Amino acid sequence: MVKLEIDNVCKRYWTQRDAKGVLALSHVTLSVAEGEFMAIVGPSGCGKTSLLNIVAGLLPCDEGSVAIDGRRVDGPGMDRAVVFQHASLFPWRTIAGNVRYGMELQRRFDQTAMRERTDYFIKLVGLDGFERHYPSELSGGMQQRVNLARALAADPVVLLMDEPFAALDAQTREFMQSELLKIWAKARKTVLFITHQINEAIYLADRVAVMSARPGRLKNVFQVPFGRPRTLSLKRDPGFLQLEDAIWQLIEEESARLGMALAPS
């Protein structure tokens, strides 16, 4: 069953220098099934964050439409929650206060339910005992867990993740990836996950959509054939490396076409 439908979405940015504007997204069509983990990879500047912002309702698109459960998206909504690249935690709120922030704004749960859900999701992301701490007392990885718990606590239908681990160091990132899979196995949300790291996308997702840059276009969607639960050793599996290579080549062709030097990540 299709949960999230991105249909023929185009986005153009207007600049003062260029009267024609820059085409950031060109006719992107993609559908995500219920409970599916969909990753989108692409080089920087391919418009993947614009796409996520459009799905989140934070950015209007010029053409096309986004729908969730058949309802057209025309602004932020309670059926979606975003995990941001920067933890974006409120420094004056405790961890518990941050996790309940989305619920507080949306007023869908009463006080008791909010308290229960806050406790539950803090535990789920492994931060019990830190309820009364402030964000500045937490490491980057822990802050991203709060960011994730805040989004999950708002009980969205679709979870949107915007390169949430990009700012973390390599070890923390790997650890957070496997943690995310454990949490996702329990929360079972439909996920749209943006990243520029190919192996992160394959490791996490059921399907990986590859985008090209200028204009941002959907090149191909790869089915990830590995079962779950997945362990980090999967990243050294020959099949995994083959898939990573195939996606890498596709992106490299693109960057060669554009004459861009792209460093592998």
Partner 1 sequence: MKSETLGGTKTETLHAVDAESAARPRLSFFQRHESMILGGGAVVIALAVWEAIWSLTDWISPLFFSGPSAIAKQFRYLLLKGTLVADMKYSGKNFVLGFALALVAGVVIGVITGWYRRIRLVADPFLNALYATPRVAMVPLIIIWFGIGMWSKVFVVFISAFFPILVNTVAGIRNMDADLLRAARAFCASDWQIFKTLAIPGSVPFILTGVRQGVALGLIGVVVGEMFGGSEGVGFLVAYGGQTFATDTLFVGVIIIAFAGIVLTSLAERLERHFSRWRPER
Interface residues with partner 1 (CB under 8 A) are 56-58, 75-78, 80-82, 84, 86, 88, 90-92, 101-102, 104-106, 134-136, 154
User: Smallest gap, in angstroms, from Cβ of residue 24 to partner 1?
Assistant: 18
- Residue 166 or residue 234: which is nearer to partner 1 going by CB? 166
At 182, list the tokens. Answer: 């454990």
3-class secondary-structure state, position 34: coil
Record the tokens describing residue 95, joined without a space: 């961890």
Whichever of 26 and 49 has its CB closer to partner 1, that residue is 49
Distances (CA, A) of 133 to 54, 92, 179, 222: 33, 10, 21, 42
Question: Would you say 105 or 246 has its CB closer to partner 1?
Answer: 105
* CA–CA distance, 222 with 203 (Å, rounded to integer): 12
The encoded tokens of residue 260 equal 């861009």
Residue 157 C-beta: closest distance to partner 1, Å: 14
Backbone angles phi and psi of 250, in degrees to 5: -60, -45
Q: How far is the CB of 117 from partner 1 (least distance, A)?
A: 14
Least Å from the CB of residue 156 to partner 1: 10
Token digits of residue 251: 């992106």
d(CA 100, CA 154): 8
> Of 75 and 238, which has the nearer Cβ to partner 1?
75
Residue number with CB closer to partner 1 (90 or 226):
90
Strand bridging mode 207-212 / 37-41 = parallel
Nearest distance from C-beta of residue 221 to partner 1, angstroms: 26
